[in-house]
Amino acid sequence: MDEDDQDLVLVVDGANVVGSRPDGWWRDRPGAAVRLHRRLTDAVGDGRVAVRRLVLVLEGLARRGVEAGELDGVTVVHAPGSGDDEVVGQVAALVGAGERVEVVTADRGLTERVERAGASVRRPGRLLEVLDALSGSGQQPRGPRAGEQATPHPPARADGGPGDERDGHDAGGPGELRQEHHRRTGDRAERLDQGRDLPRR
């Protein structure tokens, strides 16, 4: 990894990255946020993601999983409303401060907004490949860390969808989830773009 990559600020659209894999995340949004946060801190600590700073934006119920603030090389930001708006705000502030910024998202609308604000974009699939490689390196799962919450699964509804409590992009039943999943993750071919690798040491 060269010096330019080490100066990069990586902003992760947490809802989009979590939503890029239909692994049941909608049943426990706070727990999904904890898992993503833990994988990111492990990757930063291991040097697999070698950037100067990593910002994880969480919205809706996912905010209950991890406290806002800096922990183990990852800065968690809680979006008070729309996660997309918060990502754009973070990009604008960082670019305005002279930072080189890249956003991890497959949301096409958000991609257009952050590119106009001066950031580049990479797809969640590239980040997840790096995190998957680290997960397969023999590291054992650990309990909640400081700043992370132990979050039991919420009661399922009769229709099999997530609980009724909603906030931000937390969709309702299965039909809404499918629509939200496609909107937030973009075209599958775009998400599987193999064009660029994450910076590594």
For the chain, list the domains and their CATH numbers. 3-137+165-187 (3.40.50)
pLDDT of residue 144: 52
pLDDT at residue 14 in the model: 98
User: Can you give the pTM of this predicted structure?
Assistant: 0.71
pLDDT the model gives residue 132: 92
| pLDDT at residue 199, as a whole number | 56
Q: Give pLDDT, residue 48.
A: 85
User: What is the model's pLDDT at position 156?
Assistant: 39
Residue 133's pLDDT is: 87
Instruction: State residue 134's pLDDT score.
Output: 82
pLDDT at 151: 47
Distance CA 201, CA 193 (A): 22
Stretches where the chain sits below pLDDT 70 are: 1-5, 137-201
Q: In this predicted structure, what is the pLDDT of residue 173?
A: 39
